[in-house]
Amino acid sequence: MLLNTLVASLASGLVLGAFASPLSHDYAGAKTRRVVPSSHSLHERHLSHWERQWTKRSKVPDTQILPMRIGLKQSNLKEGHDKLMDLSTPGSSNYGNHMTAEEVVDFFAPHQSTTDAVTEWLVSSGIGPDRFAVSVNKQWIQFDATAAEVEELLFAEYYVWNHLSGSHDIASEGYHLPTHIRKHVDYVTPGTRLRPRNVKNKRAGNFNKPQPMITQLPGFPFPNSSTCDVYVTAECTRVQYGIPNATTAAPGNELGIYESLDVHYSRKDLDIYYSTLYPNIPNGTYPEERLIDGAIGAIEDTTEYVPIDLEAPLDFDSSSPLIYPQGLVLFQEDDEYYESTEAFNGFWNTFLDAIDGSYCNYSAFGETGDCTAEECFDPVYPDPNPGGYTGQLQCGVYKPTNVISISYGAGEYGWPDYYMKRQCNEWMKLALQGTTIVMSSGDSGVGGTTCLGDSGKIFEVDFASSCPYVLSVGSTEWDRFDNVTTPTPGKKLNEVATKRFPSGGGFSNVFGVPDYQRDAVSAYFDQVESSLGFDAYHHFVANGDFSNVTGGVYHQGGRAYPDVGAVGDRQVVYSNGSWWLVGGTSLSSPVFGAVLTLANEARIAAGKSTLGFVHPALYQHPEAFNDITVGSNPGCNSTGFPAAKGWDPVTGLGTPNFPVLLKVLLGL
């Protein structure tokens, strides 16, 4: 098939093949550079900094077959945001009228006039309708052509380029389109972008694998609601947030938990945890496993996986008792080779492929499908490596749950803008369909894994928390300040920002502040800006290049995170034959995910839609939260941002006051 030819050709860089039907021009002999007519304009230009790692070599032979793909400008990208606000803003007559997956595909498909204009141009240029195909999602047109044909079509010259790694690619230094066609075309590939093909030996360096704060206990700690400042369990979370015992389990309302990077769990450990602390949960109560691209779920033979990472047990032990009898769904991503070697730089794309088939070939911001560029290289399937998944990339094989908790993140600086923007658009599309994505905000304050800029003082920003369509969750802890010698069961404790580690928070360099949080963010700066002790800059930063930042350490004007907070330390977990205290926003995310799952449970029982994009409702109702005003998130040799009255970039709006929050959400 043409698509298979395209993929194979791009993967190998150059593929010699049969001639395509030639244009009516004679290409015998050497060609000279042609003058670009006034009817055409430059569409993309080769970036000079690529030549630091690439060397231009020979001209591509005229007869070389190039698998061409033209990405069409999508319609309604801005309108998609407006549509989401209409479906998600309290008081709207369309509130809760979520779209189907098919409706979302049609909504963003390029206008028919775009497809017609580009195909008419191709036909008039000698590329007949029998030679090109339009993708099922209507987002791109593909065809095979000789290099001579492509150069004639685009007023370009194609060369072979060699990368420092030894790999090669083909690209032009610039190509041109008819002026009236440019508004319909996002990009053309092969075009100007250079992508090394041998990057599997490059270990992911930008991605922040969850690293929970752990303390091994000498034995079972016998926790109860009087010791919540020392040992946190679901009983503590219920008491402190006013959450009643769950009694229902609406079909399809399971809480989704995402795992990757060799993070697994043990069914035996879950049985021990439940039977010890929650005997009402019977043995054999395990997550439903939705395994993606050869992923491994539970691990029982721990000789190869010692110790089992505490991330998955933390997610399950903290959330399952809150929502039981409702269940969990595990979304486990990527095969054993990629999980163990982390030989990739991108993330989440194969997960998104699996829960939305249209994403596999989704074109936006100059990118179609999973990334093959070195800076954002995604796992490739079939995978020929030892332990690799040999099946095809899984596209649309699972339905997303109503709420999905993700305790992973990465610095914005480490990925190209187009990669994050394309992915953020997908989070928006899931929100349009009624899915809430809940994500941990990070555990390193304003510093992330590193501090940026020539000065090494610019704050790092966590993605995908910085995407305005993700619900970002910061971390808190419960403390006892009154020095009571005999703790009282069920007593409400003081709640502050986590002290053992600083909760991640700040302002995006890629995404602007959305309207739903603008007033809350302005109110925060009115309180604290004059006393921060550090300055802001007021412009976006492109592709992690901070060379134009000459003053300030954070972007005032970017999407602010986290949105909300939840307990994030001292959770009692059982794993690897031991009891542990575990902390991190990796705890906060599944706890808040459980809260929203319970709210959806009530809405479903009342005959209402799922919450989906819940942000506007939350920001309109700050009274539904326990306001956290003590703490900060230091980093980069600064005190970070302080907690304050109302929203702040440490714990967001605060932690859930469940009775009030449920009343608000049930009333929508």
Q: Which residues are annotated as a binding site for Ca(2+)?
A: 627-628, 646, 648
Q: In the annotation, is 315 catalytic?
A: yes
Rg, the chain, Cα only = 26
The 3-state DSSP class for residue 274 equals helix
Rounded Cα gap, residues 241 and 608, in angstroms: 24
Question: 319, 465, 586, 589: which one is catalytic?
Answer: 586
Q: In the annotation, is 586 catalytic?
A: yes
- Chain position carrying tokens 């809430």: 436
Alpha helices in 75-230 (DSSP H): 77-88, 101-108, 112-124, 147-154, 179-182
Question: What is the token pair recorded at 89?
Answer: 């803003």
Question: 152, 169, 311, 477: which one is catalytic?
Answer: 311
Question: What is the token pair recorded at 185?
Answer: 């075309």
CB atoms under 10 Å from CB of 668, counted, come to 21
Question: What is the token pair recorded at 200?
Answer: 């599997």
Could you tell me if 419 and 367 are in contact, meaning their C-beta atoms sit under 8 angstroms apart? yes
DSSP 412-445: GGGS-HHHHHHHHHHHHHHHHTTPEEEEE--SST
Question: b or e along 193-226 (b: 16 or more beta carbons within 10 Å of the residue's beta carbon)?
Answer: bbbbbebbebebebbbbbebbeeeeeeeeebebb
Rounded Cα gap, residues 23 and 255, in angstroms: 56
Rounded Cα gap, residues 47 and 577, in angstroms: 54
DSSP 609-628: ----S-HHHHHH-GGGEE--
Question: What is the token pair recorded at 641?
Answer: 């941002």
Could you tell me if 434 and 402 are in contact, meaning their C-beta atoms sit under 8 angstroms apart? yes
Question: 44, 149, 315, 374: which one is catalytic?
Answer: 315
Rounded Cα gap, residues 83 and 420, in angstroms: 21
Rounded Cα gap, residues 440 and 566, in angstroms: 10
By annotation, the residues acting in catalysis are: 311, 315, 586
